[in-house]
Amino acid sequence: MSIQARLPLRPSSSTKAEGAAPQQGSGRRRTARRDQKYGLLFASPWLIGFVAFIGLPIIASAFYSFTSFNLFQSPEFVGFANYSQLLADDRFYKAVFNTFFLALFGVPLGLALALALALLLNVNVKGQPLYRAVIYLPTIIPTIVVVYVWRWLLNAQYGFINEAISTIGLHRPLWLDDPMWTKPAILIIGFWTIGGTAVIYLAALKEVPAELHEAAKVDGAGPFLRFRHIVWPAITPVTLFQVVVSLIAYLQMFTQPYLLAQEGRNDVGAGPNDSMLTYAMYVYQNAFVYLKMGYASALAWVLFILILVLTFIILKSSKRWVHYGN
């Protein structure tokens, strides 16, 4: 390889071809050949990785979704049985409902909060780097620690959250023991770890041209109008990115609800009345607790198709509300 790599060194004509623009012919062909060779060579780790860790597993998973299969005996073809079983499965519907519920509230509220935080962090006052670090801090804490800290904070009897709630004279929820309150608990934890999204918004806000602000001010536009007509259009591309990313994250949410609901190791419960059973949790339970690998694969494929469809719809709709400037 080292000899080949040094090849361009040898023929002086290649040097000339690079330098002199006219009389290209063979030089351009050589460039094309070099690009082809090194492009493939540099990309090869991922090409191999894609086949091994993504491509073949996708095909295998599609195949398994048409089989009955539990680790210990080889897959047995069952046609669409898994998919029709899924349509009659109450826990499947429960998981879909819970997951969509979380996404429906979590994505818009989360992005609104992240944007509000970014606007605050963009105000010109002392100490902003420190405040930014504090807002970002929760995202560096291991998820399992985040969840356990919040289980403690949300403790119905001894937790700080209920203490604060009763201080302002409201009714104390039972949080993790009340199916009405488990999903808000998951959302609150999601909002606490919104710092990454906020930092990306902050970077986008810093790119909004100052001249536009100034011009609008001269025209007498107040902060609200300036946000509506200058800031918001400029950050719609980033918003599109954040909507897609956070929607996908919500649709695949596993660790937070799994650990919030956990009573014991490999416990298949998902909170009171299955109120924390998310789609990804249900896939995991079927695959690694019930060992129904075929059924779990079918579930995973339904999720994949849902994500593709929703992403496609969002990208389509974006033509109407995303502004690409310059």
In the window 244-273, what residues touch another protein (CB under 8 A)?
248, 251-252, 254-255, 258-259, 262, 264-265, 267
Only one of the segments 90-98, 100-108, 225-233, 279-287 lies at the binding site for another protein (rule: CB under 8 A); that segment is 279-287
CA–CA separation, 107 vs 99, rounded Å? Answer: 12
- Alpha carbon 278 to chain centroid, angstroms: 15
Count of residues interacting with another protein (CB under 8 A)? 104
Report residue 60 as tokens: 């295998």
Four-residue CA torsion sign, 241, 246, 249, 250: negative
Closer by beta carbon to another protein, 181 or else 251: 251
The DSSP 8-state label assigned to residue 68 in this structure reads E
Q: Which lies closer to another protein via its Cβ, residue 275 or residue 294?
A: 294
Q: Which two tokens stand for residue 35?
A: 């690009």
Find the angle CA(254)-CA(256)-CA(257) to the nearest 5 degrees.
75
Residues 108 to 147: which contact another protein by CB under 8 A? Answer: 117, 120-121, 123-125, 131-135, 137-145
Nearest alpha carbon to residue 300 among 286, 316, 319 = 286
Q: In whole angstroms, what is the distance from residue 296 CA to residue 290 CA?
A: 9
Q: Which range, of 88-96, 171-179, 224-232, 282-290, touches another protein by CB under 8 A?
A: 282-290
Instruction: Determine the residue type at 314.
Output: I
185 binds another protein (CB under 8 A): no
Binder to another protein among 96, 268, 304, 318 (CB under 8 A)?
A: 304
Does the footprint of another protein cover residue 314 (CB under 8 A)?
no
Comparison of 104 and 133: residue with beta carbon closer to another protein: 133
By CB under 8 A, name the one of 89, 165, 213, 272 that touches another protein. Answer: 213
Nearer to another protein, 103 or 303 (CB): 303
Interface positions, 72-111, toward another protein (CB under 8 A):
none
In whole angstroms, what is the distance from residue 187 CA to residue 106 CA? 6
- What is the distance between the alpha carbons of residues 253 and 275, in angstroms, rounded to a whole number? 14
Site mask for another protein (CB under 8 A), range 11-50, x = bound: ----x--xx------------x-xxx-xxxxxx-xxxxxx
Interface pick for another protein out of 158, 168, 171, 319 (rule CB under 8 A): 158
61 near another protein (CB under 8 A): yes
Q: What is the DSSP letter of 8?
A: G
Question: Least distance (Å) from another protein to the CB of residue 228?
Answer: 18
Residue 53 and residue 299: Cα distance in Å, rounded? 20
